[in-house]
């Protein structure tokens, strides 16, 4: 545009000069030759000054217009030429400074956005943002894991995320600005979630976004259930022997039997139930100490000697039941907590005896593995049902309740064994077949010497 304007000005200037020259020549009476010379000189000077105006004004303006078009397209990195007269140079410098300032602001906004997205993505809680149409505009990774979302979350409706009508009602209610209480919901995968919808108002005061935060309460609810079950089980376990003790004691106090044999039977029942209560208290104290995360005291111990000591202390009971014990454990020294490993081996060996058949056998074998040591305690007993395998390490969980009470068990042996091993960084696992027997395996990531 500047070049077209410049060309028009030169053309008009040439016409005016020519007309003025002809008019002056006619008035003054000069010859045609001199008029032509004067006209050519004037035209030449006009062209020279016009070219100078083009160099110093029109061309910088054209470059400025091209650079401005680049800025309008969002290319803030392009620099405008600082050329031409002082006013054009000042304008170019100002536009360059404005472009650099905008570039810095955009970079800061992008950094803030990336930082916010990183924070939201790193949150353990599931975050979902809905727009005015109740469609997802933002969702972090946690919500995809919590709800097992397949594919892209953006653009989905609440019912497409979680099959729970209350979530959609909560989102729509928040979009209307209403207070929506937190929701408890259970997913198809069995996860327990707490969902809280919060409206987000824009500059005009209208709700234009809704943020829904999902908290995973599965483990918390499971722990609450375990606590309630534990209290109920402890109460039940204490109630049975206490009722027996109280009944026999009241009988003796009200009308003592004259038969010495019956008297002795009553006293034996009281003593037996008292011993069971004592065993319950002792096991609960042991379990409490293990769960209190007391420091592990590692020391060098010989695994074969530990196993032999446990078998030797049970020779009388083994003889009564006719159970044969086979030991295939190398004489190795490992670094482990002696008291905890002894407790775990003792409880597992007791289980192998109590749940075995008369005349059965127990096989104890040890082996060194990469990074640790494994000890297997296998029996030829009744075995464990598949549906019970996942729960046998729970406190007070019994596969055969009547048989456990007859053997004097408290229902805490396997729970104690698990905590005793896991507190050292190890694991306890079981492999069992109903009617064939069970094999419990202790693995310790212990240093072998």
Asked if the structure places residue 428 within a domain, the reply is yes
Please state the domain count of the chain: 4
Question: Does residue 151 sit in the same domain as residue 99?
Answer: no
Q: Domain boundary at 269, 294, 319, which?
A: 294
Average pLDDT of span 63-72: 68
Average pLDDT of span 272-277: 82
The model's pTM: 0.53
Q: Helix, strand or coil for residue 93?
A: helix
Which of 134, 138, 129, 201 lies closest to 173 in space, CA to CA?
134
Q: What CATH number should be reported for the domain holding residue 274?
A: 1.10.287.130
Question: Does residue 168 sit in the same domain as residue 231?
Answer: no
Q: Is the Cβ–Cβ distance between 343 and 380 less than 8 Å?
A: no
The answer on pLDDT for 2 being more than 50 is no
Q: Domain boundary at 255, 279, 294, which?
A: 294
Q: What CATH number should be reported for the domain holding residue 189?
A: 3.30.450.20
398 — alpha (psi -120 to 50), left (phi > 0) or beta?
beta
Average pLDDT of span 59-73: 67
Question: Does residue 68 sit in the same domain as residue 187?
Answer: no
Spatial neighbors of 31 by CB under 8 A, at least 6 apart, are 25
Structural domain of 244 = 223-294
Question: Does residue 242 sit in the same domain as residue 315?
Answer: no
Return the axis-axis angle of helices 2-28 and 59-72, rounded to nearest 10°: 160
Asked if the structure places residue 67 within a domain, the reply is yes
* Distance, CA of 58 to CA of 49 (rounded, Å): 13
Confidence of residue 276 (pLDDT cuts 50, 70, 90): confident
Confidence of residue 18 (pLDDT cuts 50, 70, 90): low
Asked if the structure places residue 351 within a domain, the reply is yes
Confidence of residue 365 (pLDDT cuts 50, 70, 90): very high
* Distance, CA of 87 to CA of 73 (rounded, Å): 25
Question: pLDDT: is 213 or 293 the higher one?
Answer: 213
Question: Does residue 441 sit in the same domain as residue 304?
Answer: yes
Asked if the structure places residue 116 within a domain, the reply is no
The answer on pLDDT for 156 being more than 80 is yes
* Distance, CA of 6 to CA of 10 (rounded, Å): 6
Q: Domain boundary at 39, 70, 104, which?
A: 104
Residue pLDDT, tens place only, 202-244? 888 888 888 999 988 888 888 888 777 777 777 777 787 888 8
Q: Is the Cβ–Cβ distance between 130 and 138 less than 8 Å?
A: no
Asked if the structure places residue 174 within a domain, the reply is yes
The answer on pLDDT for 273 being more than 50 is yes
Residue pLDDT, tens place only, 75-92? 666 666 665 556 666 767
- Order across the sheet with 136-139: list the strands: 136-139, 126-130, 207-216, 192-201, 183-186
- Are β-strands 324-328 and 361-369 bridged in parallel, bridged antiparallel, or unpaired? parallel
* Distance, CA of 447 to CA of 370 (rounded, Å): 10
DSSP-based helix, strand, coil % in the chain, nearest 5:
55, 20, 25
The answer on pLDDT for 363 being more than 80 is yes
Question: pLDDT: is 341 or 205 the higher one?
Answer: 341
Question: Does residue 437 sit in the same domain as residue 315?
Answer: yes
Spatial neighbors of 409 by CB under 8 A, at least 6 apart, are 350, 354, 398
User: How crowded is residue 159: how many other Cβ atoms within 10 Å of its Cβ?
Assistant: 13
Asked if the structure places residue 184 within a domain, the reply is yes
Asked if the structure places residue 114 within a domain, the reply is no
Question: pLDDT: is 247 or 9 the higher one?
Answer: 247
- Mean pLDDT for the chain overall: 78
User: How crowded is residue 320: how many other Cβ atoms within 10 Å of its Cβ?
Assistant: 10
- The DSSP code sequence of 243-259 is HHHHHHHHHHHHS--S-
Residue pLDDT, tens place only, 382-407? 888 888 888 888 877 766 654 444 55
The answer on pLDDT for 333 being more than 80 is yes
């Amino acid at each position: 545009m500047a070049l077209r304007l410049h060309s028009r000005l030169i053309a008009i200037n040439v016409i005016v000069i020519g007309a003025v020259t002809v008019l002056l020549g006619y008035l003054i009476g000069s010859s045609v030759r001199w008029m032509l010379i004067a006209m050519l000189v004037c035209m030449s000077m006009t062209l020279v000054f016009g070219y100078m105006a083009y160099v110093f004004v029109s061309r910088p303006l054209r470059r400025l217009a091209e650079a401005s078009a680049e800025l309008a397209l969002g290319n803030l990195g392009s620099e405008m030429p600082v050329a031409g007269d002082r006013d054009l140079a000042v304008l170019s410098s100002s536009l360059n400074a404005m472009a650099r300032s905008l570039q810095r602001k955009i970079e800061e906004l992008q950094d803030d956005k990336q930082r916010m997205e990183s924070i939201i993505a790193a949150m353990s809680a599931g975050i979902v943002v809905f727009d005015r149409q109740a469609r997802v505009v933002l969702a972090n990774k946690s919500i995809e894991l919590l709800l097992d979302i397949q594919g892209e979350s953006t653009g989905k409706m609440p019912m497409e995320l979680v099959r729970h009508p209350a979530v959609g009602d909560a989102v729509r209610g928040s979009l209307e600005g209403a207070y929506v209480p937190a929701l408890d919901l259970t997913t198809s995968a069995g996860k327990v979630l707490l969902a809280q919808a919060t409206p987000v108002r824009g500059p005009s005061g209208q709700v234009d976004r809704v943020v829904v935060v999902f908290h995973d309460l599965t483990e918390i609810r499971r722990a609450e259930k375990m606590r309630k079950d534990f209290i109920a089980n402890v109460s039940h376990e204490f109630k049975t022997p206490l009722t027996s003790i109280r009944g026999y004691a009241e009988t003796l106090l009200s009308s003592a039997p004259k038969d010495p044999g019956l008297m002795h039977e009553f006293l034996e029942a009281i003593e037996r139930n008292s011993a069971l209560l004592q065993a319950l208290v002792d096991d609960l104290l042991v379990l409490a100490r293990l769960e209190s995360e007391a420091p592990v005291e590692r020391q060098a111990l010989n695994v074969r000697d530990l196993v032999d000591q446990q078998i030797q202390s049970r020779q009388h009971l083994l003889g009564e039941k006719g159970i044969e014990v086979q030991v295939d454990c190398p004489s190795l020294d490992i670094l482990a907590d002696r008291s905890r490993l002894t407790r775990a081996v003792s409880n597992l060996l007791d289980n192998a005896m109590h749940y075995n058949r008369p005349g059965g056998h127990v096989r104890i074998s040890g082996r060194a593995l990469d990074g640790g040591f494994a000890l297997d305690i296998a029996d030829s007993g009744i075995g464990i049902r598949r549906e019970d395998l996942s729960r046998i390490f729970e406190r007070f969980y019994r596969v055969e309740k009547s048989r456990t009470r007859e053997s004097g068990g408290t229902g805490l042996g396997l729970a104690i064994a698990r905590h005793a091993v896991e507190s050292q960084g190890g694991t306890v696992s079981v492999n069992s077949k109903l009617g064939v027997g069970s094999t419990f395996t202790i693995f310790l990531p212990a240093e072998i010497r």
